[in-house]
Structures are given as C-alpha cells and as structure tokens.
Amino acid sequence: MTIERFISQAVSSWMSAEGPNSDIVLSSRIRLARNLHDYKFPTVFTVEEAKDIVTNMAESLKYDERVSSLELLIMEELRPLDKRVLVEKHLISPMLAENSNYGAVFLSKDEDISVMVNEEDHIRIQCLTPGLQLKEALEKASGLDDTIESHIRYAFDEQNGYLTSCPTNVGTGMRASVMMHLPALIITQQMNRIIPAINQLGLVVRGIYGEGSEALGNIFQISNQITLGKSEEDIVNDLLGIVYQIIAQERSAREALVKTSNIQLEDKVYRSFGVLTNSRIIESKEAAQCLSDVRLGIDLGYISNISKTILNELMILTQPGFLQRYAGGPLRPNERDVRRATLIRERIKMENQNKEEN
C-alpha cells in the first residue's frame, strides 16, 4: 500500500509550493554521500552485507523522532514500473532502481527527503526544496546527516574527509544542484556560450535527468564538480553566485525578447498552447518543448488561467513510466504518444474548469 502514495500523484507536495526565484529556478537539491565504517562499499560487498546495512539503517532511524516517519521501500519488492515512476519523480536514481544490490530508500511523506541505501555508496541523503533554497536544503540535509551519524559510524578520515566509493565525491561527499528553466537563453542562443564558461568554473551543466541526458524542455541542472578542499558552505556559495548571474541573464534575455519580438514570442507561446490543448498524438520531446513555451508564457503574463504547477506535474506525468502506470500496463511508443496527448488535454481542461468554478 505504501508505494501507492508515492506514485499516485505526479507532483510531490514540496513542489506545489513556490520558492524564491521560482520563475526560473524549479528546485534546489543537496545530496550527501556517506559510507559505513565497517562495511565494504557497494561495488564489492556481499548480499548479506547489503541486507545488514539496510537493517542497520532501519533500526537506527526507528528511535529517532526526526526520521522515524520516513517510509522504507525495498527495491526488490517493487514492480519495475513503480521504480520507474520513483525515478521520474527524482526520488531515487536509475542506478538504485536497476543495478543496486538490495537497494532501498527511506522517503518522507512530503517527498522532500529521500535517503537511498546501497546505491553507489551505502547512504545517499537527498533534500529537495522548491525554487532557489540551497542553503535551506543544506541545513536540512546536514541535520539529517547528524542524526544518522549519532547512530552509525561513518567512513571518514582527516585528510580525505568522507570516504566515498567514487573518487569524484570524496571530501564533503556533497553534490549541490539547481534545476533551472532557461528558455530565453536558448532562444537567444546564449546557452552555447554560457555552458563552457560554467564548466571552467568547476561546475557542471546537465539535462533534466542528470548525467548523459539532454536538456529536455529547456531545463538544465547546474551542480558542483569539486568536493575536496572546499567546505560545504563555500561550495554552496560559489554555486549560488553563478546561479544568480544566470538568473539575471535569463531575465534580461526575456525582457529583450519581449521588447524586440513580442508578437513572435506571443505567437510561439500560443502555438505551443494550441498544440498541448488540441493534439491527438504528441512525442515526449515536443510535449516538453511546448510545456516550456507555455511556462514562459505564464511567467511573461501572456497566459493567466493556468498555474505553473500543472506544468511541473505534466513534465513528470508525460514520462513513459507514469503514462504506463496510468494506462495500467505496458504501452508501445506510438500508443504512449496518443495517451500523452489525451492526458495533457484532459489535465489542462480540468485546470480551466477549476478556474471557472472558483
């Protein structure tokens, strides 16, 4: 029964709140990688050790008020489609879903906290916040880290900091990332110049689903690359410094677009709105692009009868896992395109009806 709660709705409750700078920043995330002192890392540990770690974690979290409400889900007990939905909601990584040895996840009711067990490292604490709230996310993650650490001894040494499975995470074990919607920087072709500049500053830019994925719907994830030799606060401040600059650039690009080609922009927004509300077949890439255009239209005030949250919801609902979950079974790609179009049309219609009733 418990899994139902996490997969029945597309938008996690933390997502429906609007955070600071939420016209451009969708969400902020802090991830801390930790390992237990006495166990081999997941690359080489035995199934017994893996099970032992999950039991250990469950046992030590049980008595702590702050974390006793976290729900434990064991990967091997979940259906593949349910795991896929959790991936699409960014609550677990694809690696945990598909390649973990006795992997598990502890989830908070609001889905703003997820603690993955036996992914690449024994423990991966993840805290999510709406809008640009990296410091708040860090505070929350660090507090949870302290709680876990009061029960479990971490692998740590003075020189290298937190000892992680992969040398790219050693030190703080922290990955701070910000999900940004940057349509104007794409339209004005500035992103091609910005990405290499960001990379040179020790940060990484990726598409919405992380490593190896492309920027679907003009959404980019910017995160720190370096984890050793800098404190958590410095890493977050450096990242924030860059993010504020990108926000300023995106805003001025939006202003410039409105000034120079208002009618073309309005046309683009409404065409996309037309596609979303009328198409009968739509591929995921086109859906993501149209949703991005409409979101921009809402931010610029062209469209007012539709909320931003519905777009967050549709970005997730139109992923293959969710579509198949709603259909109640596997769908072929062309069937998915039809379902996707129907779902988007119905969802927008529902939104309009709600607005009229209010």
Partner 1 sequence: MICQECNERPATLHFTKIINGEKTEVHLCEHCAQEKSEVFIIEGDPGFSINNLLAGLLNIDSGFQKTKENSFPKHEILQCDVCHMTYQQFVNVGRFGCSHCYETFKDRIKPIFKRLHSGNIVHQGKIPKRVGGSLHLKKEIKELKTQLQTLIINEEFEKAAEVRDRIRSLELQLDSKRGESS
Contacts within 8 Å (CB) and 24+ apart, 277-282: 277/344, 277/345, 277/348, 277/349, 278/345, 279/341, 279/344, 279/345, 280/338, 280/341, 280/342, 281/334, 281/337, 281/338, 281/341, 282/337, 282/340, 282/341, 282/344
Which residue lies nearer to partner 1 by CB, 131 or 173? 173
Strands 123-130 and 113-117 come out as: antiparallel
* SS3 label, residue 175: strand
Q: Which of 344, 307, 350, 352 is nearest to 326 (CA)?
A: 344
Which residue lies nearer to partner 1 by CB, 283 or 351? 283
Number of residues that bind partner 1 (CB under 8 A): 62
Tell me how crowded residue 72 is: count the other CB atoms within 10 A of its CB: 16
Considering only 22, 126, 284, 318, the residue that binds partner 1 (CB under 8 A) is 284
Binding site for ATP, by residue number, is 27-31, 90, 124, 175-179, 206-211
Considering only 71, 266, 283, 351, the residue that binds partner 1 (CB under 8 A) is 283
Tell me how crowded residue 333 is: count the other CB atoms within 10 A of its CB: 9
Considering only 13, 18, 76, 160, the residue that binds partner 1 (CB under 8 A) is 160
Which residue lies nearer to partner 1 by CB, 14 or 154? 154
Residue 212 binds partner 1, judged by CB under 8 A: yes
Residue 330 binds partner 1, judged by CB under 8 A: no
Considering only 4, 48, 157, 357, the residue that binds partner 1 (CB under 8 A) is 157
Give the Å distances, CA to CA, from 327 to 8, 97, 163, 287, 317: 13, 21, 44, 18, 12
Of 56-64, 91-99, 177-185, 242-250, which segment contacts partner 1 by CB under 8 A?
91-99
- What lies within 8 Å, CB to CB, of 51 at 6+ separation is 102
Rounded least distance, CB 149 to partner 1, Å: 5
Rounded least distance, CB 167 to partner 1, Å: 6
Residue 171 binds partner 1, judged by CB under 8 A: yes
The secondary element (H helix, E strand) that includes residue 205 is strand 203-206
Which residue lies nearer to partner 1 by CB, 19 or 202? 202
Residue 61 binds partner 1, judged by CB under 8 A: no
Which residue lies nearer to partner 1 by CB, 119 or 313? 119
Rounded least distance, CB 190 to partner 1, Å: 26
* SS3 label, residue 98: helix
Binding residues for partner 1, per CB under 8 A?
35, 37, 39-41, 43-44, 87, 93-95, 98-99, 120, 142, 145-146, 149-150, 153-168, 170-172, 174, 202, 209-213, 226-232, 234-235, 283-285, 320, 332-334, 336
